[in-house]
Amino acid sequence: MQRRNFISSLIAGAAATAGASFAPRTVQAAFRPSIRFLRPPGALAENDYLARCIRCGKCGEVCPNRAIKFFRFENGLASLDTPYIIPREQACILCMKCGEACPTGALGRIEREAEEIMARVNMGRARVDTTICLSYQGKTCGVCYRACPLQDIAIRVGMLEQPHVLEGCVGCGLCERSCIQIPQAIRIIPNQQRKVV
């Protein structure tokens, strides 16, 4: 992280902390997490992750899909400068480079092999809204299935290519990113306790 960004983050964080401590309770509620997001693959449990992540930005630098972004104040002070993924904007391609780049183990190193990814990646799980999914409305789609890197392990299709999420789903978000419906008919629900919008 560049020195200028680091210093501006410190100043902004101090100002926000000072403002939040004197604010009434209803205003402080605005600092709570309010977006649905995923941590990169291999992330520790949220409290451990926040304690170990040093906000170096290396995971985002190596992400070939540019899926990893960094929080400013939209998710509260505890998340400042930590990496996150919004699958509808850009999903994780499970390249596992972020874990290799992480110097602290906040993101674990995971081999890019299907068995290890299924055993150790747990970003969330896809959920299909059958009321808006085209395949459940009598039209054939199947885009989410074709986008999935773990076809027939994480997701399978039935009649009219109706998607059915399986236990092997690791929550990469490629299905959500590829869904042609607006709003999307398939979403990744994070495994961490976060507010979903």
- In tens, the pLDDT along 129-147 reads 999 999 999 999 999 999 9
Identity (one letter) of the amino acid at 177? R
Identity (one letter) of the amino acid at 65? N
Least confident stretch, 4-8, 156-160, 179-183: 4-8
Does residue 17 lie within any of the structural domains? Answer: no
pLDDT for position 26:
38
Which residues are CB-contacts of 189 (< 8 A; sequence separation ≥ 6)?
36, 124, 125, 126, 127, 171, 196
7 and 86 housed in the same domain:
yes
Q: Are 98 and 62 in contact (CB under 8 A)?
A: yes
* Residue after which a domain boundary falls, among 50, 72, 101: 101
Does residue 110 lie within any of the structural domains? Answer: no
* Residue after which a domain boundary falls, among 55, 71, 101: 101
pLDDT for position 195:
35
Say whether pLDDT at 20 is over 50: no
Tens of pLDDT, residues 57-67? 999 999 999 99
Tens of pLDDT, residues 4-18? 555 555 555 554 444
Average pLDDT value for residue range 68-91: 94
pLDDT for position 19:
44
CB atoms closer than 10 angstroms to residue 154: 22
CA distance 190 to 169: 12
**Number of domains the chain contains:** 2
97 and 130 housed in the same domain:
no
80 and 163 housed in the same domain:
no
129 and 184 housed in the same domain:
yes
- The SS3 of residue 177 is helix
Mean residue pLDDT across the chain: 85
Which residues span the domain enclosing 50?
Answer: 3-11+27-101
Q: Which of 121, 102, 103 has the alpha carbon at shortest distance from 111?
A: 121
